[in-house]
Amino acid sequence: MIINILGAGTWGTTIGCLIAKNNPNYKINIWQRNQSKSQMISSSRQHENLPNHRMPENINFTSNFNNLDGESLTIIAVPTSAVSNILSSYSFTKKTKFIIACKGFDITSGWLPSQLLEVKYKVLAENISILSGPNHAEEIIDNKPSAAVIASTNEKLAKDLQKLFFHRNFRVYTSSDVMGVQVGAAVKNVIAIASGLCVGLELGDNAQAALVSRGMNELTTLKNLYRINIKSLYGLSGLGDLIATCYSKHSRNRKLGYLIGKGKTLHESKKEVGMVSEGVNTCKILYDISTEHKLNMPICNEVYNILFSNTNPKESIYNLMTRSLKIEN
């Protein structure tokens, strides 16, 4: 079996290693935009962000789309903002099955990745699946116990992929709630930025716990708009990923918020993080969605104000703490 992975970042490469080790007879092609980096990984069998891990021999790195069989199972592991441009160059067919492994919204259309594939690229819903959960690549590559969810409206596809990924240290569940799994995975990145701000501002454990729990409430605010099963938001891709991303040292979004809390600009913080923090673009989309549909998402809106309106983080904290009093739920 041949599997194509679009994206040779930390996550895409870790997914490739997981599948390659589980299935030594499979051929894994990992596409990398940068030719020199692709060649370097191919020759050294080392990834710059995954030190001390040799790439399995059944993984092939390439920067040429012509080396990929477009009918093969394809995993999308690039930042959400890059998905549209990359799929425009990728020769897939009506038979191609996709696994979406990125978390966010398309910045141009405001669609979730599955919506982008269905509407713009005419991919059948039955050929789309989502891989999500509290999955930091740095821990999975080290074989530390982790769990994930595969969501698809195609039950057979979900079960087949569950078997593909399953490992004694990587437990996989299935779900049919494609929208719920994506929404939880996207929104938690914005709350993680806010969590990092709490740490950077040295507001204490009480404040961070209050923010994360109220952030969870903002995830549920979207349940009617996207027709989500509320259980999905309290599952691995929602609450599970929220906890990991808000508290982990591996979280890019948390680190970005932390640096801003310490007084750095958005530009400086993004440069220091060095990798894409999906929560930045997601924050823009959520601000527009909450405004258009009159949804109560104060934390996400204050993160937007800090990132894009130059609001002082301390002012945002004051705004959140002095809002009109209300019942908890």
Residue 304, domain CATH: 1.10.1040.10
φ, ψ for residue 290 (rounded to 5)? Answer: -65, -35
* Alpha-carbon span 142 to 153, nearest angstrom: 31
In a domain, 225, yes or no: yes
Say yes or no: 172 and 184 in one domain. Answer: no
In a domain, 328, yes or no: no
In a domain, 326, yes or no: no
Dump the DSSP string for 5-24.
EE--SHHHHHHHHHHHHH-T
Kindly indicate the confidence band of residue 140, based on its pLDDT and cuts at 50, 70 and 90. Answer: very high
Q: Quick one: pLDDT at residue 277?
A: 93
- The pTM for the full model equals 0.95
φ, ψ for residue 235 (rounded to 5)? Answer: -100, -160
pLDDT above 70: percentage of residues in the chain = 100
pLDDT at 272 exceeding the cut of 90: yes
* Alpha-carbon span 144 to 208, nearest angstrom: 26
Q: Quick one: pLDDT at residue 60?
A: 96
pLDDT mean over 18-37: 94
Q: Quick one: pLDDT at residue 329?
A: 78
Cα–Cα–Cα angle for 229, 100, 93, nearest 5°?
120
| Total number of domains constituting the chain | 2
From 136, 157, 176, give the residue that closes a domain: 176
Residue 267 to residues 36, 256, 311: CA-CA distances in angstroms? 26, 10, 15
CATH number of domain containing 158 = 3.40.50.720
Answer yes or no: 188 catalytic: yes
Cα–Cα–Cα angle for 238, 325, 311, nearest 5°?
70
pLDDT mean over 289-311: 97
Q: What is the mean pLDDT of the chain?
A: 96
Please check whether residue 58 is in contact with residue 24, taking contact to mean a CB–CB distance below 8 angstroms.
yes
CB neighbour burial string for 101-126, b if at least 16 within 10 angstroms, e if fewer: bbbbbbbeeebbbbbbbbebeebeee
For 80-131, what is each residue's pLDDT tens digit? 999 999 999 999 999 999 999 999 999 999 999 999 999 999 999 999 999 9
Cα–Cα–Cα angle for 19, 131, 14, nearest 5°?
40
Please check whether residue 115 is in contact with residue 83, taking contact to mean a CB–CB distance below 8 angstroms.
no
pLDDT at 276 exceeding the cut of 90: no
Please check whether residue 179 is in contact with residue 152, taking contact to mean a CB–CB distance below 8 angstroms.
no
The position carrying tokens 């599955």 is 114
pLDDT above 90: percentage of residues in the chain = 96
Q: Quick one: pLDDT at residue 284?
A: 97
| 151 contacts: CB under 8 Å, gap ≥ 6 | 129, 130, 132, 158, 174, 175, 176, 177, 178, 180, 181, 182, 232, 237
For 161-202, what is each residue's pLDDT tens digit? 999 999 999 999 999 999 999 999 999 999 999 999 999 999
For 214-228, what is each residue's pLDDT tens digit? 999 999 999 999 999
Q: Quick one: pLDDT at residue 31?
A: 97
In a domain, 30, yes or no: yes
Q: Quick one: pLDDT at residue 321?
A: 96
Q: Quick one: pLDDT at residue 16?
A: 97
pLDDT at 275 exceeding the cut of 90: no
Cα–Cα–Cα angle for 51, 31, 152, nearest 5°?
100
In a domain, 121, yes or no: yes
φ, ψ for residue 91 (rounded to 5)? Answer: -90, 85
Say yes or no: 80 and 17 in one domain. Answer: yes
Q: Which amino acid is at 76?
A: I
From 117, 149, 176, give the residue that closes a domain: 176
From 161, 176, 191, give the residue that closes a domain: 176
Please list the residues that pair with 195 across neighbouring strands: none
In a domain, 196, yes or no: yes
φ, ψ for residue 234 (rounded to 5)? Answer: -100, 10
Cα–Cα–Cα angle for 65, 71, 72, nearest 5°?
85
Kindly indicate the confidence band of residue 302, based on its pLDDT and cuts at 50, 70 and 90. Answer: very high
CB neighbourhood size of 39 (10 A): 14
φ, ψ for residue 202 (rounded to 5)? Answer: 60, 50
Please check whether residue 74 is in contact with residue 92, taking contact to mean a CB–CB distance below 8 angstroms.
yes
* Alpha-carbon span 259 to 257, nearest angstrom: 5
pLDDT at 283 exceeding the cut of 90: yes
Q: Quick one: pLDDT at residue 89?
A: 92
Parent domain of 67: 2-176
Q: Which amino acid is at 79?
A: P
Catalytic residue among 97, 188, 255, 270: 188
Say yes or no: 171 and 278 in one domain. Answer: no
Please check whether residue 267 is in contact with residue 211, taking contact to mean a CB–CB distance below 8 angstroms.
no
